[in-house]
Amino acid sequence: MNISKKKVILGALLLIIIWTGNIVYYKAHLLKEPIFIKHFYDIKQGMKGFGLYYISNINDKDEIIRITFPEIDEDIAEFHVNDRNTDRRYYKLNEIYVAANSDTSDKYKNKLITKAEVQFISGRVIKVDIGKIYLYDSGNNQTPALKSNYVSSGSDNTGSTRFIADKDINITGVSCKFPELINKGIKLTINNEDLKDIKFPLIIKNGEEVRVNYFFNFDKDSLENNNIYNLSADILTEDASGVKGYSSIYMNYIKQFPDQYNIKSMLSKGDK
């Protein structure tokens, strides 16, 4: 066998080894089932809907045809699925947008949703943990003493709200549906002072500005970093007559691409 023929054979063997290795590597990344991301939402009455996100194989064609929330005992007829983004190799991020209307919103008032049952066009049905989604009626029609006049948010999951006081008031505290996250995964500041360092009440004069900033700062390798958050926090107030009120800020945290999620750690928590 001459040298050139040996080179051709060795080259062919090398290509076969590489090709086989790529197939093995690709199959090792295939998901047996979609991974549903954990959501932490608080959604007030009058919502238009909310998004549930899941990661699937990039070539997955098994469409969702039905979703049920057992804790509400209600089928959701109005929903649609959007393909958001892919990592161009293995996975894609999908959104199920669940719509609410005037006929259904009362059924979801003051409910906590943690589970969903999802049926696919193939007939497959899976039960998934979707996190904690509070649907509630604030039950408070008071006019806030702090008037919002500027809101901004960034792609780095930070945001700012600027209020103006329309009378002398005291800020007496901050309330949130997920208090365990404040000062742990979420940093809040009022007028550039960290919430944990503030001694309430804060005395605010008529016409004064109040700036509230939020920062999500989960550890890169923490499980919380794989979740999606859509939260509010209420700035509690009381005026000189003892009238109490609140003004709300809204905080969002979502990663837009599947390769930004730690899929290995999500699988280790029981996702397939």
pLDDT of 222 over the 80 cut:
yes
Question: 18 Cβ partners below 8 Å, 6+ apart?
Answer: none
Confidence of residue 190 (pLDDT cuts 50, 70, 90): very high
Query: pLDDT band at 174, cuts 50/70/90?
Result: very high
Report the C-alpha gap between 269 and 223 in whole angstroms.
9
Percent of the chain with pLDDT over 70: 79
Predicted TM-score (pTM) of this structure = 0.84
pLDDT at 26: 46
Task: Using the predicted structure, report yes or no on whether residue 211 has a pLDDT greater than 70.
Answer: yes
In angstroms, the CA 64 to CA 86 distance is: 18
Which residues make Cβ contacts (< 8 Å) with residue 62, sequence separation at least 6? 56, 120, 121, 122, 124
Write the single-letter amino acid at 160.
S
Higher pLDDT, 5 or 27: 5
DSSP 8-state secondary structure symbol assigned to residue 247: E
DSSP 242: -
Q: Tell me: cis bond preceding 201? Omega within 30 of 0 counts.
A: yes
What type of residue is 37? Answer: I
Mean pLDDT for the stretch of residues 237-262: 92
Cβ atoms of 88 and 81 closer than 8 Å: no
Mean pLDDT of 56-75: 86
User: How many Cα atoms occupy the beta-carbon half-sphere of 5 within 13 Å?
Assistant: 2
Q: Is the dihedral of CA 203, 206, 208, 213 positive or negative?
A: positive
CA distance 187 to 66: 38
Instruction: Please tell me the least confidently modeled range out of 28-42, 50-64, 160-174.
Output: 28-42
Confidence of residue 101 (pLDDT cuts 50, 70, 90): low
Band of the pLDDT at 19, cuts 50, 70, 90? low
* pLDDT-based confidence at residue 56 (cuts at 50, 70, 90): very high
Note the pLDDT of residue 25.
44
pLDDT above 50: residue 24: no
CA-to-CA separations, 211 to 231, 245, 247, 255, in angstroms, rounded: 18, 17, 12, 26
DSSP string, 73-122: TEE---EEEEEEEE-SSSEEEEEEEEE--TTTGGGGTTEEEEEEEEEETT
Residue-level pLDDT at 99: 83
- Please state which of the ranges 1-10, 69-78, 149-158, 228-237 shows the lowest mean pLDDT: 1-10
The mean predicted confidence, pLDDT, of the chain is 84
What is the mean pLDDT of the segment spanning 156-185?
91
Average pLDDT, integer, range 147-163: 90
On whether the CB atoms of residues 145 and 165 are closer than 8 A, the answer is: yes
Residue 240 predicted with pLDDT over 50:
yes
Alpha helices in the chain (DSSP H): 3-28, 263-268
